[in-house]
Amino acid sequence: MVRTPSSDNSGLRKGAWSPDEDTKLVAYITRYGHWNWSQLPRFAGLARSGKSCRLRWMNYLRPNVKRGNFTPQQEECIIRIHAERGNKWSAIAAELPGRTDLEVKNHWHTTLRKRSQEEALAIEETRASKSSKNKESMDLVPNCNGAAVPFSATSQITNSSSPLFSFSSLSSSSKEFSSGPCFP
C-alpha cells in the first residue's frame, strides 16, 4: 500500500494543517485581510494552495465560526429550509449566523436526514390512516384512460355463482364497445 505524498509536484503541501501554519494564516489575514486567495499563501509564507487556505480560513479559523452542537432551533431551521430549497448548503448556512456550509452539510448527512425522513414517514402514515377512516371501503381503480374511479368493495354481488358480466350477451359486431375513448 502506497502512502499519499505530503506535497504535490509543484511543492505545495497537502494533508493536515500544523499549528504553525494556522498561526501564519491567521496573522496574515488579521493584518492584511484576504484580498486574493491564490496570491495569499505566497505572501503569508505558506506552501499551500489558495483554495486550501480559503477553506481552512472559512471553515475553521474565522473568529465568528461557531463551534459545538447545533441547538434544536437551528436543527429545525435546517430541516425547514432544506425542505424548501434542497441541498443549497450555503443558502441554509446564511440563515444560521456563525455556521459554515460544510458544517451544516455534515450535520444534515450525519443526523438530520434520517430524522427528517422518519418524520415525513410518520406524517404520511397519519394522513393515510385518517383518509382510510374517512372512506368506508371505497377504493380508487383506474379506468381505461388511467383516471381514478371510485369502486366500492361492498357493492359487489355476493352470489359467486352468477357472474358480474356475461360475455355471451356481446357479439363481435357490437357497436357499443367498438369505439370510444378507450377503443380507437
* CATH code (residue 127): 1.10.10.60
Question: Locate cell 434520517: which residue?
Answer: 114
**Euclidean distance between the first and the last CA atom of the chain, given in angstroms as a whole number:** 68
Residue 47's domain comprises 19-61
Residue 113: inside a domain? yes
Q: Identity (one letter) of the amino acid at 43?
A: F
- With beta carbons less than 8 A apart as the criterion, state whether 88 and 95 touch: no
Residue 162: inside a domain? no
Do 95 and 121 reside in the same domain of the chain? Answer: yes
- What are the cell numbers at 88? 443549497
Strand (E) positions, the chain? 138-142, 148-152
Residue 146: inside a domain? no
The per-residue pLDDT for range 145-182, each reduced to its tens digit, is: 666 666 655 444 444 454 454 444 444 444 444 444 43
- With beta carbons less than 8 A apart as the criterion, state whether 104 and 93 touch: yes
Length of the chain: 184
The per-residue pLDDT for range 95-146, each reduced to its tens digit, is: 998 898 899 999 999 988 888 888 888 888 888 887 766 655 556 666 666 6
Residue 142: inside a domain? no
Number of domains forming the structure of the chain: 2
